[in-house]
Structure 1
Amino acid sequence: MGIVIRQSIKTAVVTFAGVFLGLIINLLSIRVFEKTDLGFTQNLIKASMLLCYFAILGFNSTLVIYGQKYHREHPKRASFLTISIIVPLLSLTVITLLYFIFKDKVIHMYHSGDELLMARYYILFPLLTLLVSIILWMEGYLQSIYKTAIQSFAREILNRLIYLALIFLYAYHLINFDTFIWWYVLLYLVPIVYLAYFIYRFDGFKFGYTKGDFTNREILRIISFAFNQTFVVISAVLIIQIDTILIGPLAYNGLEAIAIYGTAAFAISVIKNPIRALSLSALPSLSDAYQKAQLKKLRANFIKSASVMQLLVLFLSVGILLCANEIQYLINLLKPGYESVSHIMLILLIGHVIDVLGGLSLEVLTLSKYYLYNTLFSFSSLIVIVILIYNWIDVYGLQGVAWASSIGMVMYAVLKSVFLYRKLGIQPYTVNTLKIAGISIVALAACYFLNLFSNPICNMFLKGGIYSILFLGLSMRLKISEEFNELVKKYLPFIK
């Protein structure tokens, strides 16, 4: 697991670079785009990303898990890969048809002013769904052969560099919004080519079905597993994205509200993306331990990864809490109309931090025979979120939506953790958890009142810098994670 953790944290380094690019993108987007255009762009991305999970039917996760069984030297690998790509292609065809069958109904869900944008660029929704589905399949394949850093670079760096370049072109009036949004979607071909190049470099990527490799029953078992993964993944994704998706049709200001809420929700990606990098890297190892019935190894790997996740999530979330006022000041400088961002951001953090503190509970449940329970937990929490949003959005506005999302996330996290402990005897909380919580409190208390400059932005850099050194230094001193310590010493030698 040490190798996996080191790879995970290295992948997280790439992800942090992506988060930094994402921060620049978000700030520039607030500055250069009208709220309606920004809201439409975020709506396009969220909706297409969600539907691509329906299109791929869980075969990206199936590649990771079954890929350990049908490894690169396995005689049935070509047949397995063929099955894993044909079914999603058929599903993608159906999804595309449904896009056009329900086109009018989807467009009329939005307010009159927003309908024009939805109608004008509706074709981009199925197109982006297609391109992202291809990328998801490729990512699943690379994860199955332990090449997570490659797919992380494509997702976190390459995509964002392209996005950033287009924003600069738009900001300097070299392209209009029409050109921007079309090129944003079409340039997803670049990461596809990038991923394809690396996939072809490694042995074991081959297609071709040999009759007799799989019985009909075995094929149905693979497809059934993939379908179950679909429900697991979609329910988990919906919990994170349903708030933003419902805002467009339900909020009185539609796409503009999405722009405000999406800016606040970026804080979630700051903590979720590095955690996602860790889970992607750890999943093959967890899968291997479970399939070999090595429960002791599974528990050890789970606890090690949980310590790193808890360290990362508290470091990032407490840092955001520390600088929340300064972040809001910076956003207000860029453009008026985003004054509620910091409040929404902090509300959203509550639920997602509690969820991440539970470790890779979703991943372990997905691997186990109890995977359908995760679907039950997530859909139950999802129903709670939807009901609360419908009842609170008109009364409490976007903060009501944020509270609904956070309450649902806490419910989901508690259900997963309690069930996992009762059935497998696995739980993520150790003495290290208390140490990390103590470090967070000490670092926050030491830096919270460090307002030495009249300029809030200068204070943000001062507090953020001292906080980072203090938090990381204490984490190393208390030896929360040996692998984490090794990487800090290697890349940040000034922190002792």
Structure 2
Amino acid sequence: MGIVRRQSTYSTIFTYLGFAIGALNTMILFPRFFSTEAFGLTRIMIDFSLFFSALSTMGSLNALYKFNPFYKDFLPKGKNDLPYLTLMANLIGSILFLIAAVGFEPFWEKHFGHGSPLFVTHFRLVIPFTISYTAIMVLEAYCWVIKKTIISNIVKELFYRLTTTLFIFFYIMHWISLETFFVLFSYSYVPAILVLMYVVYQNGGVTLYRTISRATKRLYKKILVFTSYHYTGMLIGVLPRTVDGLLIAGLTDKGLENLAIYSIPVYLASIMDGPYRSMLGITTTLISEAWKNKDMAKIKELYHKTSINLLIIGLLIFGVLMPNIDNLIRFNPEYSLAKAIFIVAGLAKIIDLGMGMNAQILLLSKYWRMDFYSSLLFIFINIILDYFMIRHYGVMGAAYGSAIALIFYNIIRFTYLWWLFKLQPFDRKTLYVLLIAAAAIFITWVIPYLGNLYLDAIVRSLVFTILYLPTVIYFKISEDINAMFKGMLQKILPKSR
């Protein structure tokens, strides 16, 4: 786990720097300087683009992760045509999206016209946003293949948010109009695309070899079957973050305003995903290699360690945010539903993180069809639950629907891995960290309000962190967390002498 710990640590630092900039944009700048409807428009542009960019990949990125180790073994350097085939699949997917976006424009107008008329008038701005995000995913996949996960995470997490902050600043200073801001926002991923293209080019790890190789001739049937089954694979990571917003905007009155309010607690819950996103690139590569080598001990180790590490960090973030939700409501009373939404979304996310890299282990195994069927079931349940719950319970229904679907999906994957491989990620330390976190959250929660929301937030955050982290380290819940702590001490103590 050394390479995972090292690369994940660096990636996590920059991921959370990106989250901090995103929090500045999402929780302070947009609500203060933009109307709720205009803020909601930026949210639905993101949700729409994330969902349809996943479709535009046509399942090809999972095929790249799955089969690239075999291509590397079978072919001489520079003769690997899989990256080129992946690029072509995404190009075709983007063209199909472009045709569908324009051709079905009357459908979008009918679906969103009642609750989100501002989205209808700006609909075509999602086209450059979606295509540019598809390009980001392809370039990120190339970086994963050449194990440049740190730089890809830095660029992906930081550049888009910094670009957005810059455009907001232009608008605040009245250098651009609101309409110009929306146009610039739709191209906000372009700087990140240029940087990742340079990174891939400089490292020379991905060559676009256009001649069909003997590996493709040998594996193409398996690749086509795998890709066709996993056309939904890339949706799983983005569906919980997108279907809610699309349905809220389309089914509720004042859809964009409701979406803007809903996006705040959901963004806070998404912060818990930071370690997972940082760990995903390098861990996916290692799991793929372990399956190729039939190294079940390595897979079991990765499953357990990713589970406990993600759970520890996820609970740390939840424990800092949860007692401070009341301060968010004090900051802006419009966020009165934030506490309930965050509790539901946050608890579901804790369960998801505690399951570790179960999706990647199942996806990259020979039983990957099981992942496909469970993913398809998850998508169906998520959409159906969200649709009916939003119609009956409004914005709160979106939180309930997504949480139930996410928990059910994880139970299915857990059951598959236990049934097929006798793999499960938990031990007594899982229970210990849950008890430690629950006790620390309770103590922090019952502290009386200190009268100043900023002072109160600082005190609650410090109290929980002091109660939680040292206890986790003392009881050696995770050897990776303890190794990181020991490494930090070794760097700090000599300087203090």
Whether TM exceeds 0.5 here: the answer is yes
What amino acid is the match of 1:2? G
Alignment check: 8 A CA contact 2:356 2:425 kept: yes
Bigger CA drift: 356-365 or 312-321? Answer: 312-321
What amino acid is the match of 1:205? V
Given the alignment of the two structures, is residue 459 of structure 1 paired with residue 461 of structure 2, yes or no? no
Given the alignment of the two structures, is residue 83 of structure 1 paired with residue 85 of structure 2, yes or no? yes
Matches within 5 A, 1:398-417: 398-417=395-414
Partner of 2:441: 444
Deviation at residue 154 of structure 1 after TM alignment: 0.9
Given the alignment of the two structures, is residue 101 of structure 1 paired with residue 103 of structure 2, yes or no? yes
Deviation at residue 356 of structure 1 after TM alignment: 1.5
Partner of 2:466: 469
Given the alignment of the two structures, is residue 57 of structure 1 paired with residue 54 of structure 2, yes or no? no
Matches within 5 A, 1:354-373: 354-373=351-370
Deviation at residue 434 of structure 1 after TM alignment: 1.7
CA deviation digits over 1:450-495, x for unaligned, max 9? 3362112211111102212332211221222233223334457889
Number of residues paired by the alignment? 490
Partner of 1:17: 17
Partner of 2:178: 177
Alignment check: 8 A CA contact 2:303 2:356 kept: yes
Partner of 1:384: 381
Matches within 5 A, 1:53-452: 53-71=54-72, 74-75=76-77, 77-112=79-114, 114-115=116-117, 117-211=118-212, 213-214=214-215, 216=217, 218-332=219-333, 337-451=334-448
Q: 2 CA distance for matches of 1:450 and 1:227?
A: 54
Distance 1:442 1:280, change over 3 A: same
Deviation at residue 403 of structure 1 after TM alignment: 1.0
Distance 1:441 1:214, change over 3 A: closer
What amino acid is the match of 1:372? R
Deviation at residue 238 of structure 1 after TM alignment: 2.0
Q: 1 CA distance for matches of 2:115 and 2:377?
A: 34
What amino acid is the match of 2:48? A
CA deviation digits over 1:179-225, x for unaligned, max 9? 11211222321101111111111133222333553455633432432
Q: 2 CA distance for matches of 1:309 and 1:269?
A: 13
Q: 2 CA distance for matches of 1:469 and 1:129?
A: 42
Alignment check: 8 A CA contact 2:314 2:353 kept: yes
Q: 2 CA distance for matches of 1:136 and 1:368?
A: 22
SS in 1 for 2:253: coil
Aligned-residue CA RMSD (Å) = 2.2
Structure 2: gaps spanning 5 or more residues: none
Deviation at residue 120 of structure 1 after TM alignment: 3.1
CA deviation digits over 1:417-450, x for unaligned, max 9? 1121111111111122122112212322332233
What amino acid is the match of 1:311? I
CA deviation digits over 1:22-59, x for unaligned, max 9? 11111221111111111111101111111111111222
Alignment check: 8 A CA contact 1:450 1:459 kept: no
Q: 2 CA distance for matches of 1:38 and 1:268?
A: 19
Alignment check: 8 A CA contact 2:55 2:231 kept: yes
Deviation at residue 300 of structure 1 after TM alignment: 1.2
Distance 1:6 1:437, change over 3 A: same
What amino acid is the match of 1:232? G
What amino acid is the match of 1:296? A
Deviation at residue 92 of structure 1 after TM alignment: 1.4
Q: 2 CA distance for matches of 1:138 and 1:442?
A: 43
CA deviation digits over 1:115-167, x for unaligned, max 9? 3x334322221211111111100000111121111111111112111111212
Alignment check: 8 A CA contact 1:351 1:408 kept: no
What amino acid is the match of 1:141? Y
SS in 1 for 2:294: coil
Deviation at residue 259 of structure 1 after TM alignment: 0.7
Distance 1:29 1:489, change over 3 A: farther
Deviation at residue 308 of structure 1 after TM alignment: 0.6
Alignment check: 8 A CA contact 1:8 1:282 kept: no
Deviation at residue 323 of structure 1 after TM alignment: 1.6
Bigger CA drift: 275-284 or 165-174? Answer: 165-174
Q: 1 CA distance for matches of 2:255 and 2:145?
A: 40
Deviation at residue 359 of structure 1 after TM alignment: 1.0
SS in 2 for 1:123: helix
Structure 1: gaps spanning 5 or more residues: none
Q: 2 CA distance for matches of 1:329 and 1:260?
A: 14
Alignment check: 8 A CA contact 1:35 1:256 kept: yes
Q: 1 CA distance for matches of 2:417 and 2:216?
A: 33
Q: 2 CA distance for matches of 1:285 and 1:235?
A: 20
Q: 2 CA distance for matches of 1:268 and 1:141?
A: 28
Q: 2 CA distance for matches of 1:445 and 1:105?
A: 49
Partner of 2:37: 36
Alignment check: 8 A CA contact 1:232 1:372 kept: no
